[in-house]
Structure 1
Amino acid sequence: MDHQRVYPVGPLPASAPVAPDNFSSNSKKDPKIDKLPLFTAPTSSPPPPAHINTRRKRSRLCKCLCWTLLTIIILIVIIAAIVGILYLVFRPKIPHYSVDYLTVNNFSMDNNLTVTASFDITVTSRNPNKRIGIYYLEGSKITAWYNTTELCNGTYPVFYQGHRNTTVVHLLLSGKPQLTNDLVSGIQSQLESGSIPITVKGNVPVKIKFGALKLFKITGKVNCHLLLDSSSSGSSTSDTQFKFRSSSCSFKVKL
């Protein structure tokens, strides 16, 4: 067999990389590509039109007003329900007050037209309620008037009046008002006619007790019109004798 010799071959020369078909060494870059930005930042959305903001504000305001009105209506309904329940359970009745007697302890006038007046008034207070009590509190004021002039004043006693209770109280009123000439002439004319009208007014703070529940403080206002007969044994007011004739009273509550 014939032996063949194999001779080593040196390294082949490196061939140039094969360029893609669409690539040409003579081609130029597209100028439009150079102008494109590498990164585009997101832009914020434009603000809503002014009329849309106005509508939103109006809508919020309407909702707020509606909720406020609804809350007020609910509170009124709750209060009305409570008052209705209390009325049905306790059946409240207005207390009655009457002036049974008025004694003039002193009614004299000096040369300076200053009147010294002292009245003793007997008042009957009736509470007709069977489940309601009345607390008469401090801070009351009882006044006696002739026309628009206050003659004397005093206070109402502090006590508790129970259910279906009748209480007789005595009020001592005193004062020294300064009168005018016209008022003195009017009083003298009334005394000569044989009668003189006196008005007794009362502002008395009270608390109402419904069972075991005490309500807030209210003010009872009493207005009584009295008529006194007068007989004089001299020319001075101190010589005049007074006798109680009649009275009519009204009562109301001030919250």
Structure 2
Amino acid sequence: MTDRRAEFRALHHSGRPLLLPNAWDHASAAVLAARGHPAIGTTSLGVAASAGLPDGAAATAAETLALARRLAQLPVLVSVDIEAGFSDDPAVVAGYVAELAGLGVVGINLEDGCPDGTLAEPECTADKVAAVKAAVPDLFVNARTDAWWLGVADPLPEALARARAYRAAGADGIFVPGTVDLAALRMLTERLDAPVNALYQPGGPGLTELGRVGVARVSTGSLLFRAALGAAVAAADAVRAGRPTVPAGLPSYAEVQHLVPVGD
């Protein structure tokens, strides 16, 4: 297991950004692995919405653990989005992450956004990071600050201060969703001694541009899940409207069936 975690860590230092696509169930993870992605993350929105639960409300601890158990069967490195840890108690968060690690998970995302749309006190998130690292020292902890996501008036200094606190607590990487401003990202990568993770945004800079300013990891977040929902609706609408075609390139029944492991 240590070798797999070291492999995941090394992907953040390859000289080009690691594209981490985010899955929401076994099939989406399996097809991404089959396309050659060495690592995948999970999307908390996709996991929550698939279960009929709200995202970011600490409601999907059981669903997230069950998904991690299923993804452990796949030949791919898995990092799991655990929102804010599903608890305010650092010891409970650490215990939960230890369960994930026991399943083979190599990394987690841990955020500082609260369900009420505010940011948690940085000491609270830092304490969770420290507890997780004490429980599973070689697990890659990607600490996410929602300074941009939640509309802080001056997000850059807030994000820097929080990132430094999380890094001091043991975080291995820093995630700053909500900005693709290259100048801001460059400042973060230059001032933080940890890999910086950006969230891909359609119409924003691509992997090459993000890599030029030092971004080490690019996540797709909920994009793939939302794209899948959109494609499903478009196909249903096409059938209802009597249009003769649906989107090209759909996997066949046999291809999807092949993604599911067959028991002995």
Query: TM (normalized to structure 2)?
Result: 0.18
More RCO (CA 8 Å, sep 6+): 2
User: Which is higher, the Rg of structure 1 or of structure 2?
Assistant: 1
Structure 1 or 2: more strand by fraction = 1
Query: TM (normalized to structure 1)?
Result: 0.19
Structure 1 or 2: more helix by fraction = 2
